[in-house]
């Protein structure tokens, strides 16, 4: 963890809303936000941070990402002393600001976008005392995490839309009635009656074991089936469904010609599931680990099943990564953003 000493010059208050004051697609004269998509900058007085706030903030943002065999945190935290709020930090992508003063007229949490930079989220907690600020954070921590996490997803999607693959997106929409953001770097793997698969392969500098370039691969596939009831949205049934699809379509390499290798959910590692909402429709998200039957590959996956009420079907978008020499957060957050962009037409 890093700690920078600066001085807060301006105390500002926002209305309790998430409106940015302008359409996010409008031209902006603000500079582009900087910093990692998974970095949260905490701006607080050092006594407040050292005397209790740290113990409550760290577990919220440094929780482990679900579905990974090796622990990785949801966010990195950079702590900043609230004495000078200078240019270095004003342009950071995610700011969580704690203001404690007896002059605070209304205690609460406020959210605003694009304050100092385009693509920025600013969450401010205002309280009269340090104890009140800590209590306020404890009561609102889940909502604060969701706001910043949602902003991360939105910004990743926005970047992908700027560099998207029009041909693959149009093909998926025209052939299957499914809208989804597909980055330009992806290639078509398969397009059948009710199965669509795109993938990306590449090399970049390794993060583990050595300093050479290492291979990685990501894949995204979509399929659909008739919707009957919500009984399908259980871990057991969803795992069985995914395995039945990947057994047919996602093959691996094997050293024996007589043995077939294919993707499956790794059964010795529990999946994480939750109900979510996409575009006002019910959706079901599953995160876990995959491996290859009769093979040696493996990695994390994320699946999102959405109910397409217009066509009375369930659309499943699934994404996976293979990159044993890399940390997985950068990959899985991009893939999750792609899955969450799924929409039926």
Task: Specify the DSSP class assigned to residue 152.
Answer: H
Q: Is 186 found in the same domain as 120?
A: no
User: Last residue of some domain: 103, 126, 161?
Assistant: 161
The CA distance from 271 to 323, in Å, is: 20
Q: Is 188 found in the same domain as 86?
A: no
**pLDDT digit string (tens) for 9-63?**
233 333 344 444 444 455 578 999 999 999 999 999 989 998 899 999 999 999 9
User: Last residue of some domain: 161, 195, 218?
Assistant: 161
pLDDT per position in the chain (345 positions), as tens? Answer: 443 333 332 333 333 444 444 444 555 789 999 999 999 999 999 899 988 999 999 999 999 999 999 999 999 999 988 786 777 788 999 999 999 999 999 999 999 999 999 999 999 999 999 999 999 999 999 999 999 999 999 999 999 999 999 999 999 999 999 999 999 999 999 999 999 999 999 999 998 777 789 999 999 999 999 998 888 899 999 999 999 999 999 988 766 666 789 999 999 999 999 999 998 888 999 999 999 998 889 999 999 999 998 999 999 999 999 999 999 999 999 999 999 999 999
Whole-number pLDDT of residue 27: 59
Q: What are phi and psi of 299, to 5 degrees?
A: 170, 180
What's the CATH code of the domain at 264? 3.40.1000.10
Residue positions counted in the chain = 345
The CA distance from 53 to 146, in Å, is: 19
Q: Is 115 found in the same domain as 179?
A: no
**pLDDT digit string (tens) for 144-186?**
999 999 999 999 999 999 999 999 999 999 999 999 999 999 9
User: b/e for 10-21, b at 16 or more Cβ within 10 A?
Assistant: eeeebeeeeebe
Q: Is 137 found in the same domain as 228?
A: no
User: Last residue of some domain: 161, 187, 221?
Assistant: 161
Strands (E), the chain: 2-4, 39-44, 76-81, 94-100, 108-113, 121-127, 178-179, 187-191, 195-205, 213-226, 262-265, 272-278, 281-293, 298-308, 313-322, 343-344
Q: Per the structure, how many domains does the chain have?
A: 2
Instruction: Report the first-to-last Cα separation within the chain, whole angstroms.
Output: 45
Contact 291, 267 (CB under 8 A): no
Q: Is 206 found in the same domain as 122?
A: no
Q: Is 19 found in the same domain as 41?
A: yes
Q: Is 36 found in the same domain as 14?
A: yes
Q: Report the DSSP beta bridge partners of residue 69.
A: none
Q: Is 175 found in the same domain as 299?
A: yes
pTM over 0.85? The answer is yes
Structural domain for 28, as ranges: 2-161
Q: Is 227 found in the same domain as 123?
A: no
Q: Is 126 found in the same domain as 34?
A: yes
Contact 76, 36 (CB under 8 A): yes
């Amino acid at each position: 963890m890093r700690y920078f000493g600066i001085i807060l010059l301006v105390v500002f208050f926002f209305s309790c809303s998430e409106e940015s004051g302008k359409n996010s697609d409008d031209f902006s004269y603000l500079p582009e936000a900087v910093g990692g998509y998974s970095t949260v900058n905490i701006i607080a007085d050092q006594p407040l941070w050292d005397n209790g706030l740290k113990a409550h903030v760290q577990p919220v943002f440094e929780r482990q990402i679900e579905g990974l065999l090796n622990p990785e945190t949801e966010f990195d935290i950079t702590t900043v002393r609230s004495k000078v709020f200078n240019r270095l930090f004003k342009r950071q992508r995610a700011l969580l600001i704690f203001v404690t003063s007896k002059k605070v007229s209304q205690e609460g949490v406020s959210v605003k976008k694009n304050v100092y930079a385009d693509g920025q989220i600013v969450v401010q907690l205002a309280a009269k005392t340090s104890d009140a600020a800590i209590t306020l954070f404890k009561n609102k921590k889940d909502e604060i995490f969701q706001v910043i996490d949602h902003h991360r997803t939105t910004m990743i999607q926005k970047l992908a839309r700027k560099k998207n693959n029009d041909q693959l997106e149009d093909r998926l929409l025209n052939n299957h009635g499914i809208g989804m953001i597909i980055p330009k770097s992806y290639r078509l793997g398969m397009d059948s009656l009710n199965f669509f698969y795109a993938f990306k392969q590449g090399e970049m500098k390794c993060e583990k074991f050595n300093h050479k370039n290492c291979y990685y691969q990501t894949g995204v596939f979509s399929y659909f089936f008739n919707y009957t009831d919500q009984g399908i949205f259980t871990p057991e049934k969803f795992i069985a469904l995914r395995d039945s699809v990947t057994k047919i379509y996602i093959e691996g390499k094997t050293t024996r010609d007589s043995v077939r290798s294919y993707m499956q959910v790794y059964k010795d590692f529990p999946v994480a599931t939750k109900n979510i909402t996409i575009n006002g429709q019910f959706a079901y998200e599953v995160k876990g680990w995959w491996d290859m039957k009769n093979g040696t590959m493996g990695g994390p996956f994320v699946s999102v099943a959405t109910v397409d009420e217009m066509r009375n079907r369930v659309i499943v978008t699934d994404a996976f990564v293979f990159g044993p020499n890399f940390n997985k957060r950068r990959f899985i957050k991009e893939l999750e953003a792609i899955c969450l962009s799924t929409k039926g037409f």
